[in-house]
Amino acid sequence: MAGLRKRFGATPALDGMSFTVRSGVVTGFVGPNGAGKSTTLRVVLGLDTPDAGWALVSGRAYRTLHRPLCHVGSLLDAGALEPGRSARNHLLWLARTQGIATRRVEEVLELVGLAAAARRKAGGYSLGMRQRLGIAAALLGDPPVLLLDEPFNGMDPDGIIWARSLLRSLAAEGRVVLVSSHLMGEVQEMADHVVVAGRGKVIADAPLEDLLARHGTLEAAYLRLTRD
C-alpha cells in the first residue's frame, strides 16, 4: 500500500501510510492506540475507502479480516455471530454464503481446536474461544492473505502460544500474514518483520532482528521510536 490517507472529521487516521508485506513471513504491525492500524487493515480489505493512496493485495483485496468481538461487536464483516448459534452452524452459514464446501468447516474447527465445543452455543464462549472462531472463519476460504487485528486479545497464555504457532505455520506455507497487536512480547516471539506505525504513518519497517540488534527488545524499540 502506498500513500494511504484517511480522515474521520478533523483527525487524520492515515497520513501517508505506506508499506509492503511479503508472503512466507509473519509481519507484526505495532503502534500506539489510534496509530491507524485497524484503519489500514480496513482500507486494504476495501471496507473503508481511502481519501488518497492505494492498496493492493496480490492484485486484489481479500475479505479475510479477523476482528475481535470485544472491539466491534461483530465477529466478522461477513456476518455477526448470533449468540444462540453454535460455532459449527455459524461456520456452515459462512461457508454457504461464500460457496465453500461444508467439509472445510470440520477442517477449520479441528485446526483452531474448537471441534469438541463446536456444537455449543457461541453465546457461552469465552473471548479466547471467540478469537479462535474468528480465526476459523478467516481460514474457511483458505485465503493466501491473512490480516489479523489484535488476535491475541482475550486469549489465555496457552491460546496465545497456540495462535503464534498456527500463524507461523500459515506463513511458512507461503501466505501473507499481517498481525496487528499492541503486545510487544508476543510480536517479538512471532514476527520475522515488524512495521511500527504512529500517527497514521510508518515510523519503522525492518526485520525483527535488526530492531533487536539496535534496541535489545521490541518493546525498547517501540518506546524509543514512538516517543516523539
The distance between the two most distant Cα atoms of the chain, rounded to a whole number of Å, is 51
Q: Which of 33, 49, 101, 103 binds ligand ADP (CB under 6 A)?
A: 33
All cell numbers assigned to 190: 512471532
27: partner contacted, choices Mg ion, ligand ADP, none (Cβ within 5-8 A by kind): none
Q: Shortest distance, CB of residue 38 to ligand ADP, whole angstroms? A: 3
139: partner contacted, choices ligand ADP, Mg ion, none (Cβ within 5-8 A by kind): none
Where does 148-227 have alpha helices with state H?
Answer: 157-172, 184-190, 208-215, 218-225
Nearer to Mg ion, 14 or 92 (CB): 14
Q: Which of 1, 4, 38, 88 binds ligand ADP (CB under 6 A)?
A: 38
Q: Shortest distance, CB of residue 68 to ligand ADP, whole angstroms? A: 11
Interface segment toward ligand ADP; rule CB under 6 A; list 5-13, 128-136, 185-193, 203-211: 5-13
Q: 5 and 15 in contact (C-beta within 8 Å)?
A: yes
Non-local (6+) Cβ contacts of 37 within 8 A are 29, 30, 31, 149, 180, 197
Nearer to ligand ADP, 107 or 219 (CB): 219
Nearer to Mg ion, 117 or 147 (CB): 147
Nearer to Mg ion, 37 or 201 (CB): 37
Q: Which of 1, 17, 26, 31 binds ligand ADP (CB under 6 A)?
A: 31
Where does 99-217 have alpha helices with state H?
Answer: 103-111, 127-139, 157-172, 184-190, 208-215
Non-local (6+) Cβ contacts of 5 within 8 A are 12, 14, 15, 16, 17, 50, 51, 52, 53, 200
All cell numbers assigned to 131: 478469537
Q: How far is residue 198 from each of residues 15, 55, 75, 138, 208, measured CA to CA in Å?
A: 10, 19, 26, 27, 18
Q: Shortest distance, CB of residue 13 to Mg ion, whole angstroms? A: 10
31: partner contacted, choices Mg ion, ligand ADP, none (Cβ within 5-8 A by kind): ligand ADP
Q: Shortest distance, CB of residue 127 to Mg ion, whole angstroms? A: 16
Nearer to ligand ADP, 193 or 201 (CB): 201
- The torsion of the CA quartet 172, 189, 65, 135, rounded to 10 degrees, works out to 80
Interface segment toward ligand ADP; rule CB under 6 A; list 37-45, 86-94, 105-113, 219-227: 37-45
| Cα–Cα distance for residue pair 147/94, rounded to 1 Å | 18
Give me the residues that bind ligand ADP (CB under 6 A), please: 8, 11, 13, 31, 33-39
